[in-house]
Amino acid sequence: MVNAVNVAAQTVNVNAPVLYASTRIQTGGRACCAAATHQPGTGVVNLRKPGIYEVTFNGNVATAAAGTAVVNIQTNGVNIPGAQATVTTAVDNIYSVSLTTLIQVCCNETVSVSISNGSTVALTVANADITVTKLC
């Protein structure tokens, strides 16, 4: 299991990933042996062992102008269908977004998971929290 967070507000440009300053929990021993790994300061959790994983993201988003905030869960840089949160925003309001999906990793495969800004404008994201749990 991995739990990574970034409490401070960050600007996430269009199509860029949310970054996580720290890894609060990483189970499974050393990074070379763990099923899921995260390097602090990055926006990627790598899934390195076969199985089914649950990915959950929570965070607060805002935009500098009224519009639509879109947040996606991606694997290897590609949006996962159905793993998207969309919020109609007003200037400087803060909105809570939450996403959960399942990802299957096959033998001899490594999958990179990230949360990306699918909006047409930059987002401010605070209290970003991603948890990845290997279910089986």
**What are the tokens at 43?**
């926006």
Tell me the backbone φ, ψ of residue 120, rounded to 5 degrees.
-95, 0
Predicted pLDDT at 30: 65
From 18, 10, 14, 41, select the one nearest 124 (Cα to Cα): 10
- For 15-93, strand residue ranges (E) read 22-26, 36-38, 45-47, 51-62, 67-75, 78-89
Closest CA to 34 of 1, 76, 75: 1
DSSP state of 71: E
> Which residues contact residue 95 at a Cβ distance below 8 angstroms, ignoring those fewer than 6 apart?
60, 61, 62, 69, 87, 89
Distance CA 18, CA 44 (A): 9
pLDDT in tens, 57-116: 999 999 988 999 999 999 999 999 999 999 999 987 999 999 999 999 999 999 999 999
pLDDT band at residue 31 using 50, 70 and 90 as cut-offs: low
The H-assigned helical ranges of 37-102 are: none
Is residue 124 predicted with pLDDT exceeding 80? yes
Question: What value does the mean pLDDT of the chain take?
Answer: 95
- Residue 62, CB half-sphere, CA atoms under 13 Å: how many? 11
Quickly name the fold that domain 2-134 has.
Answer: Jelly Rolls (2.60.120)
pLDDT at residue number 48: 93
In this predicted structure, what is the pLDDT of residue 127?
Answer: 98
Hey, where are the domains in the chain? 2-134
